[in-house]
């Protein structure tokens, strides 16, 4: 990104932290962290946080950002991405369908805020605009007795994407010419994201509703790199391709 771009000095982590404080959320913000998920897991059952149903961890740069499996998360430069972990305190153990619901929640928040972009979902939990990845989700659980912390790690490229990753994009790069990334749009996105995530988490022990199944199927089949369209989705999150069933957790 050009150095004279007016958004190059914005620190998305700091902006997000200010939004959280304005919404009276517990937020832990540092300019640099090893990994927001790692810190969220360390503090999952800290005594001073046991009354907090939602804790938000944000940073401008991760030194050990993680994706699913052995994957790592790379941000273009400090402050250019939403690097966050949303830690929910639950009284139930989340079911495998929670992964589906969280992916759908982020997709809905994005597509509601910027409906003119070609949002789509790549199973299990990558968010794309067209054929370029813009966000990744990492879910982790930490249990203590009957209580569980569901940690939703979300990395979203906002003002820039890594130059050496041809398959990546950012919001700024994807917006139509003449359509700036407005602060009010980003705040509206965070409002919607919190609403969608909180709603998804409230259904963490349930099967997918018919509406959720159809919504997921639509979002997944919009992915332009999909070799074969999904023909159906079951209440447990299994995907159908013809007569073949694919377990969501194996994707």
Return the bridge partners of 86, or none: 56, 152
R_g (Cα) of the chain, nearest Å: 18
Contact of 118 with 130, CB cutoff 8 Å = yes
- Can you give the pLDDT at residue 250? 82
Tally the domains of the chain: 1
DSSP per residue, 169-205: --HHHHSPTT----HHHHHHHHHHHHHHHHHHHHTTT
% pLDDT > 90, the chain: 78
- Can you give the pLDDT at residue 179? 87
Domain holding 169, by residue range, is 12-207
Pair of tokens at residue 217: 């199927």
Contact of 80 with 157, CB cutoff 8 Å = yes
The answer to the question of residue 221 being in a domain is no
Find the CATH number of the domain harbouring 147: 3.30.930.10
The answer to the question of residue 213 being in a domain is no
pTM value is 0.92
The answer to the question of residue 232 being in a domain is no
The answer to the question of residue 31 being in a domain is yes
- Can you give the pLDDT at residue 138? 95
- Can you give the pLDDT at residue 79? 83
Nearest by Cα to 94 from 54, 150, 45, 44: 150
Which positions ≥6 away from 34 have C-beta within 8 Å? 62, 63, 64
Return the bridge partners of 54, or none: 88
The answer to the question of residue 144 being in a domain is yes
The answer to the question of residue 33 being in a domain is yes
Q: Is residue 207's pLDDT more than 80?
A: yes
The enclosing H or E element of 133 equals strand 132-144
The answer to the question of residue 229 being in a domain is no
């Amino acid at each position: 990104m050009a150095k004279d771009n007016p958004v190059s000095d914005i620190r998305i982590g700091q902006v997000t932290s200010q939004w959280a404080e304005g919404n009276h959320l517990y937020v832990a913000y540092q300019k640099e962290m090893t990994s927001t998920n790692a810190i969220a897991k360390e503090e999952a059952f800290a005594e001073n946080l046991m009354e907090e149903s939602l804790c938000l961890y944000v940073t401008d740069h991760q030194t050990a950002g993680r994706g699913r499996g052995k994957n790592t998360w790379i941000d273009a430069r400090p402050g250019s991405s939403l690097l966050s972990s949303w830690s929910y305190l639950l009284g139930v153990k989340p079911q495998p369908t929670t992964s589906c619901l969280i992916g759908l929640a982020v997709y809905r928040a994005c597509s509601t805020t910027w409906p003119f972009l070609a949002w789509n979902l790549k199973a299990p939990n990558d968010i794309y605009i067209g054929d370029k990845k813009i966000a990744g989700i990492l879910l982790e659980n930490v249990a203590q007795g009957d209580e569980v912390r569901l940690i939703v790690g979300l990395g979203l490229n906002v003002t820039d994407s890594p130059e050496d990753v041809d398959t990546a994009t950012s919001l700024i790069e994807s917006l139509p010419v003449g359509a700036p990334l407005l602060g009010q749009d980003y705040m509206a996105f965070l409002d919607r994201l919190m609403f969608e995530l909180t709603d998804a988490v409230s259904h963490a022990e349930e099967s997918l509703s018919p509406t959720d199944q159809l919504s997921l199927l639509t979002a997944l089949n919009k992915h332009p790199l999909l070799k074969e369209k999904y023909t159906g989705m079951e209440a447990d999150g299994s995907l159908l391709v013809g007569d073949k069933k694919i377990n969501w957790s194996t994707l």
